[in-house]
Amino acid sequence: MKNTTLSGAEQEAKASREFQTSVKTPLIAPVVLVSSDNGGWRWMVVTCPICGAKGRHFHGAGGPGADPRKSLGHRLAHCASPVPVEAVCCGYELMDILDMGEPEAGKDERHVPGQ
Predicted TM-score (pTM) of this structure: 0.64
Backbone angles phi, psi at 76, to 5 degrees: -80, 145
pLDDT digits (tens, 9 = 90+) for 73-109: 999 887 876 776 666 667 889 999 887 555 554 444 4
Q: How far apart are CA 4 and CA 27, in angstroms?
A: 33
Residue 20 one-letter amino acid: Q
Distance of CA 61 to the CA centre of its chain: 12
* 34 confidence band (pLDDT: 50, 70, 90): very high
